[in-house]
Amino acid sequence: QQQVKQSPQSLIVQKGGISIINCAYENTAFDYFPWYQQFPGKGPALLIAIRPDVSEKKEGRFTISFNKSAKQFSLHIMDSQPGDSATYFCAGRTYKYIFGTGTRLKVLA
């Protein structure tokens, strides 16, 4: 019940394309769903986050879509750029964070 399932494990997208990463959760007590971005040699950093009372949140080229009834949420990166190449983690939070297994995104120039 604690798990957050993330897919795909890796993703290759052409520059200018749309990158989509999906997550599914089971714990209905999660009250916060962040996405973290991690570059090689760095710690994860918060990219964008959503609370379960909202169905969509957009910040620049990054959008979270949230489907509470299906217990799924996804990250969309519009106009993907080579600088977006990183590992992305979704998470759900109660008193602690449960992270997905990560998606390694590569955007080809």
Partner 1 sequence: EAQVTQNPRYLITVTGKKLTVTCSQNMNHEYMSWYRQDPGLGLRQIYYSMNVEVTDKGDVPEGYKVSRKEKRNFPLILESPSPNQTSLYFCASSSTGLRSTEAFFGQGTRLTVV
Would you tell me which residues interact with partner 1 (CB under 8 A)?
A: 6, 9, 32, 34, 36, 41-46, 49, 89, 95-97, 99-102
Shortest distance in whole angstroms from residue 20 CB to partner 1: 18
Shortest distance in whole angstroms from residue 22 CB to partner 1: 15
CB nearer to partner 1: pick between 65 and 87: 87
C-alpha 16/C-alpha 68 separation (Å) is 29
C-alpha 67/C-alpha 47 separation (Å) is 19
Shortest distance in whole angstroms from residue 17 CB to partner 1: 25
C-alpha 24/C-alpha 60 separation (Å) is 24
> If you search the block for the tokens 């990183």, which residue do you land on?
86
CB nearer to partner 1: pick between 12 and 18: 12
DSSP helix/strand/coil, 83: helix
